[in-house]
Amino acid sequence: MSEQVIELKGSVLSLTVLHIYSADINETKASLAKKIEQAPSFFVGIPIIIEPKIELSDPTFLALLVEYLHQLQMIPIGLRSKDPVIQEQATYTGLAIFPEDTRRPTNEGSDEKPRAAIQEKQPEQPAEPNYAPVVMDEPGLKSALVIERAIRSGQQIYAKDRDLIVLGSVNPGAEIIADGNITVFGKLQGKAIAGTAGCMNAKIFAKQMNPELVCIAGIYQLADDIDEQYKNNGLVEIRLKDEQLIMSAM
């Protein structure tokens, strides 16, 4: 029996990125010290990626910064920059080089407009307003995304990595999607898709429902397949059991 000794796998991790806006090492150090003073224990042992936002002409800057971060008990592991000069410095200092930021563009320093999800031109405005804003980068506990209004035909709400609670109705032609559970306090008449990331324990609760489609972890039922007794007849719980959607009136 050969036991597996090692395995190389790709993994997406959440790391802290340190943006540098000053080419002056002393100023940077002072600013770092001040930041860490606010929560000394929080930064101990955390991996750091350095991302200079300005041109660094001083060839010792990176080495000094890495040294200082070590002193502060942080662990600089890499650099993100496309400047070949800084990249070269990084290899001397033993830092890994990460590709340039390819996530969705942030407001600062990025000129390129986000790709339009909707065709029409809306100057100076990322064309994604049909979706509820979803904050995705915060680590730790994620509370449910709560939508207090009705979700209308053509609108789509996605609660990434969390539950979704809708206080209004989900009208026909609307779509609500959550990686966690879904609860609807109004009428559920559109599509509800829970456990999108594959969570088999996700559930859907609706106070009153006649949905176009319900789906948990990829297992779905269309309106016609849903037993009439659950339609427009009070609170219903939908869960997954043995790859089958089980509905029960509550």
CB of 46 to another protein, least distance (A): 35
What character string, x for contact with another protein (CB under 8 A) and - otherwise, covers 60-79?
--------------------
What character string, x for contact with another protein (CB under 8 A) and - otherwise, covers 11-30?
--------------------
CB of 127 to another protein, least distance (A): 9
Looking at beta carbons only, is 147 or 245 nearer to another protein?
147
CA 99 to chain centre: 19
Determine if 173 is a binding residue for another protein (CB under 8 A).
yes
Tokens 């029960």, located at residue: 248
Looking at beta carbons only, is 92 or 131 nearer to another protein?
131
How far is the CA of 226 from the CAs of 135, 174, 210, 238, in angstroms?
34, 18, 9, 11
Question: Strand ranges (DSSP E) for 5-150?
Answer: 16-20, 47-52, 75-80, 96-98, 145-147
Closest CA to 214 of 242, 185, 186, 236: 236
Burial of 160 (0-12, 13-18, 19+ CB in 10 A): middle
User: What gap in Å lies between CA 190 and CA 211, rounded to an integer?
Assistant: 5
Determine if 171 is a binding residue for another protein (CB under 8 A).
yes
Looking at beta carbons only, is 53 or 149 nearer to another protein?
149
Q: Per CB under 8 A, which of residues 111..170 are in contact with another protein?
A: 120, 122-123, 125, 129-130, 149-155, 168-169
Question: Given the rule CB under 8 A, which residues bind another protein?
Answer: 120, 122-123, 125, 129-130, 149-155, 168-169, 171-174
